[in-house]
Amino acid sequence: MSRRVLDGELEVGSIPERRPEEMGGEVPEKEVPAKASGEIKVWRCKVCGYLCARESPPETCPICNVGRERFEEFTFR
């Protein structure tokens, strides 16, 4: 039993170390070249609002199963 407690403490202790990177990390929004980053587009399903980031829309929506013609290009601002 004491082993499990030790393992649990180790796992818990490793989580706080990751948080500062995600929360306190500086995100250079201005320097993110949207066009130069592989031309990844975001497609939105007009039916259910499903979003996916890829070069072309999926054959069918994984959520509501409609065809790709129901997808429109979604642009961030």
- Interaction of residue 52 with Zn ion, rule CB under 5 A: no
Residue 47, burial from CB neighbour count under 10 angstroms (0-12, 13-18, 19+): middle
Strand partners, 47: none
To Zn ion, the closest distance from the beta carbon of 62 in angstroms equals 8
Give the distance from CA 44 to its chain's centroid: 14
Total binding residues toward Zn ion, as defined by CB under 5 A: 7
CB of 64 to Zn ion, least distance (A): 4
Q: CA-CA distances (angstroms) from residue 77 to 2, 4, 30, 74?
A: 53, 48, 12, 10
- The residue among 8 and 67 lying less far from Zn ion, judged by its C-beta, is 67
Q: Given the complex with Zn ion, which of 34 and 42 has the nearer CB atom?
A: 42
Q: Determine, following the binding rule CB under 5 A, whether residue 57 of this chain makes contact with Zn ion.
A: no
User: Which residues here bind Zn ion, judged by CB under 5 A?
Assistant: 45, 47-48, 50, 61, 63-64
